């Protein structure tokens, strides 16, 4: 039966059909649904790991035990998982192991635009790149076969327009793959220098064998047109855009295996076309390879190195006219915002009001950087708020009373803990705010090790953040309710004034969680309102002054009451007030 499937859903279907029994992942757009879809198959054990390194190591452990296993992450997650990946390349696998990485060209939901193909080259592991959902499913099956045949982890590279695009996919039955026997093999699995020295030549020999495989696999294919004046080498979604523009009128070398690349196939293709063009999103990886084997081609001289491709990018680069279209109309922007009732809003209002330097982190609370709050000074990567604030205050200890780190509960478990250990151990006067909304929010509500539920929604051990901070050497840990502005502000001032490490846990569940009940909407009494617009300073989408005076939209307001605490005239009433 054919079904419309997201690329991520198809990848999960591929895991199911290929007999995979273990998946570990940390959520990250655009990779999250691989695991969310895989968990729907009872045959596959799935879990959210605290971070991508743990997920990759866990998947390796399952492979070592003989299971077909997988881990999944977004592109920046592979930075975190790079450590195990580079050495799993040396040990090889027992059961087949697939590493999903989802790149995000154009940074729809990311902090950088890195090209994961560099990791495949650097770690010397094969990488497959599907062009649509159909291939996503099929390539997963082949990835397991390559993994077991060549004793290597295999990376399957997705990107936003594959992960979050749907096309029809056929569904085949699952092939059960029994556990391979586990045999103790110290030379294979203990990467001490003596063993690793013997392993490295085997990795190089494997690459040579994979190069030979790349020459004959159906993953790579040439599609010759009658007209041989233009030949295009491409992969992934870029293939779809090329086909959209050129149809069957040009010759195409479509690469499904992007590491290692098929040198002879490329030479043959080049010999049979007049002009050779490489069409690849992000970095010139294929182009540089083609040039390195002495073949002239055009690539980034025509195409951008920045952003995602589309049929219009192809047309423009190749000098093909684009369709006419209406003139653009200038309209006000609509950036993403914190939701009505978001527990982060009041806290960021206080941080902005008191002019704190806020060392931020990755999550919904990154939106604290947006107008009108403009409360955040820095956002780098997962966990960098905690370690970054430590360095900032070692360099500028006099700023301690006006500096905080801000990190979510899930991000703290991902990579904030080690930074906090550093604060305690090397004793900086940092104040770390853990925004505990009991969920991994931005990626669409995944449970995490602190909220008491696992990936299936079943009860799980809830790690106690207060006890954890104490265990990491922080004596002063205070819990506040961010809906209570007065108390939160008092604690903020006390803890930042304290000359030593401290943690404030700002605890209030995400307003979008099902179990969080909406309170009746608030309203503004026009007789009491002096139109001072204080209530607009928190940037709540439920409050606007379109008619010149603030009004609360009852369809959006969830009755959190934060705005009412800002009104000096008692004009905001109802709900929780």
Partner 1 sequence: MSVNIMICGVGGQGTLLASRVIGRVFLQCGDDVKISEVHGMSQRGGSVVTYVRAGRKVYSPVIKQGEADFILSFEKLEAARYIEMLKADGTVVTNTQEIASMPVITGAAVYPGDVLDTLRAAGIRVDALDALALAREAGTERAVNVVLLGHLSRYFDFPENVWTDALKETVKPAFLEMNLKAFALGRGN
Reading the block at residue 476, the tokens are 């002063």
Q: What does residue 317 show for φ and ψ, rounded to 5 degrees?
A: -65, -35
Is the bond preceding 260 in cis, omega lying within 30 degrees of 0? yes
**CA gap 196, 334 in Å, rounded:** 53
Question: In this structure, are residues 10 and 136 in contact, taking their beta carbons and an 8 Å threshold?
Answer: yes
Residue 523 touches partner 1, criterion: CB under 8 A: no
Residue 36 touches partner 1, criterion: CB under 8 A: no
Reading the block at residue 186, the tokens are 């110290």
Question: In this structure, are residues 265 and 290 in contact, taking their beta carbons and an 8 Å threshold?
Answer: no
Min dist CB 514 to partner 1, Å, is 13
Residue 160 touches partner 1, criterion: CB under 8 A: yes
Residue 218 touches partner 1, criterion: CB under 8 A: no
Pick from 380, 401, 516, 536 the residue near partner 1 by CB under 8 A: 536
**CA gap 420, 386 in Å, rounded:** 6
Residue 312 touches partner 1, criterion: CB under 8 A: yes
Which region among 54-62, 77-85, 180-188, 535-543 touches partner 1 (by CB under 8 A)?
A: 535-543
Min dist CB 535 to partner 1, Å, is 11
Residue 365 touches partner 1, criterion: CB under 8 A: no
Which region among 79-87, 165-173, 502-510, 560-568 touches partner 1 (by CB under 8 A)?
A: 165-173
Min dist CB 328 to partner 1, Å, is 5
Residue 331 touches partner 1, criterion: CB under 8 A: yes
- Sequence-distant (≥ 6) Cβ neighbours of residue 359 within 8 angstroms: 377, 378, 384, 385, 388, 389, 392, 403, 404, 405, 406
> x/- string (CB under 8 A) for partner 1, residues 131-150?
-x------------------
Pick from 367, 404, 522, 524 the residue near partner 1 by CB under 8 A: 367
Residue 165 touches partner 1, criterion: CB under 8 A: yes
Pick from 319, 332, 457, 459 the residue near partner 1 by CB under 8 A: 332
Dihedral of alpha carbons 117, 120, 121, 122, sign: positive
Residue 1 touches partner 1, criterion: CB under 8 A: no
**CA gap 457, 174 in Å, rounded:** 25
**CA gap 312, 328 in Å, rounded:** 16
Min dist CB 132 to partner 1, Å, is 8
Contacting partner 1 within 247-306 (CB under 8 A) = none
- Sequence-distant (≥ 6) Cβ neighbours of residue 282 within 8 angstroms: 103, 105, 113, 114, 115, 305
* Axis crossing angle, helix 384-395 with helix 417-425, rounded to the nearest 10: 30
477 strand-pairing partners: 503
Which region among 13-21, 181-189, 375-383, 532-540 touches partner 1 (by CB under 8 A)?
A: 532-540
Please give the helix or strand (H or E) that residue 479 lies within, else none: strand 476-480
Q: Which residues contribute to the site for partner 1 (CB under 8 A)? A: 4, 6, 29-30, 32-33, 108-109, 132, 160-161, 164-168, 237, 240-241, 243-244, 310-312, 322-329, 331-339, 364, 366-367, 370-372, 442-444, 536, 539-541, 543-546, 555
């Amino acid at each position: 039966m054919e079904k419309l499937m997201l690329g991520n859903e198809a990848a999960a279907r591929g895991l199911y059909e290929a007999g995979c029994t273990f998946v570990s992942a940390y959520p990250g757009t655009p990779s999250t649904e691989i695991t969310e879809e895989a968990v729907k198959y009872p045959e596959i054990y799935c879990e959210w790991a605290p971070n991508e390194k743990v997920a990759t190591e866990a998947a390796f452990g399952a492979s070592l035990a003989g299971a077909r296993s997988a881990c999944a992450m977004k592109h920046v997650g592979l930075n975190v998982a790079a450590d195990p990946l580079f050495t799993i390349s040396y040990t090889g696998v027992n059961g087949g192991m697939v590493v999903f990485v989802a790149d995000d060209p154009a940074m729809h939901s990311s902090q950088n635009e890195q090209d994961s193909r560099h990791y495949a080259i650097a770690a010397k592991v094969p990488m497959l790149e599907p062009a649509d959902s159909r291939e996503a499913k099929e390539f997963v099956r082949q990835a397991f076969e390559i993994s077991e045949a060549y004793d290597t982890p295999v990376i399957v590279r997705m990107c936003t327009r594959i992960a979050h695009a749907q096309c029809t996919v056929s569904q085949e039955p699952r092939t059960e793959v029994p556990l391979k026997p586990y045999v103790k093999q110290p030379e294979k699995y203990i990467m001490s220098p003596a063993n690793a020295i013997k392993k490295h030549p085997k990795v190089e020999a494997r690459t040579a064998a994979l190069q030979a495989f790349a020459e004959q696999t159906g993953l790579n294919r040439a599609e010759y047109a009658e007209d041989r004046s233009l030949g295009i080498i491409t992969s992934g979604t870029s293939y779809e855009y090329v086909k959209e523009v050129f149809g069957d009128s040009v010759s195409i070398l479509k690469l499904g295996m992007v590491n290692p690349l098929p040198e002879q196939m490329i030479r043959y293709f080049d010999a049979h076309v007049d002009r050779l063009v490489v069409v690849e999103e992000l970095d010139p990886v294929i182009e540089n390879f083609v040039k390195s084997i002495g073949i002239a081609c055009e690539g980034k001289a025509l195409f951008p190195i920045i952003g995602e491709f589309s049929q219009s990018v192809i047309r423009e680069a190749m000098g093909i006219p684009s369709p006419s279209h209406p003139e653009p109309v200038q309209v006000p922007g609509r950036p993403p915002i914190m939701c009505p009732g978001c527990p982060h809003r009041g806290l960021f209002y206080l941080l902005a009001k008191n002019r704190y330097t806020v060392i931020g982190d990755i999550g919904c609370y990154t939106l604290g950087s947006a107008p009108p709050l403009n409360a955040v000074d820095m956002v780098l990567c997962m966990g960098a708020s905690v370690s970054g604030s430590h360095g900032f205050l070692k360099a500028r200890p006099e700023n301690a009373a006006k500096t905080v780190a801000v990190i979510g509960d899930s991000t703290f478990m991902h990579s904030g803990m080690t930074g906090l250990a550093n604060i305690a151990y090397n004793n900086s006067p940092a104040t770390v705010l853990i925004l505990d909304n009991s969920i991994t929010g931005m990626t669409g509500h995944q449970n995490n090790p602190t909220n008491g539920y696992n990936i299936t929604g079943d009860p799980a051990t809830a790690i106690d953040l207060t006890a954890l901070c104490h265990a990491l050497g922080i004596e002063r840990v205070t819990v506040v309710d961010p809906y209570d502005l007065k108390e939160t502000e008092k604690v903020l001032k006390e803890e930042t004034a304290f000359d030593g490490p401290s943690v404030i846990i700002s605890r209030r569940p995400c307003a979008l969680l099902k179990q969080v009940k909406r309170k009746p909407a608030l309203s503004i009494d026009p007789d009491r309102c002096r139109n001072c617009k204080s209530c607009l300073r928190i940037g709540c989408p439920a409050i606007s002054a379109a008619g010149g005076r603030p009004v609360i939209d009852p369809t959006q307001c969830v009755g959190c009451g934060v705005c009412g605490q800002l009104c000096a005239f008692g004009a905001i009433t109802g709900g929780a007030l």
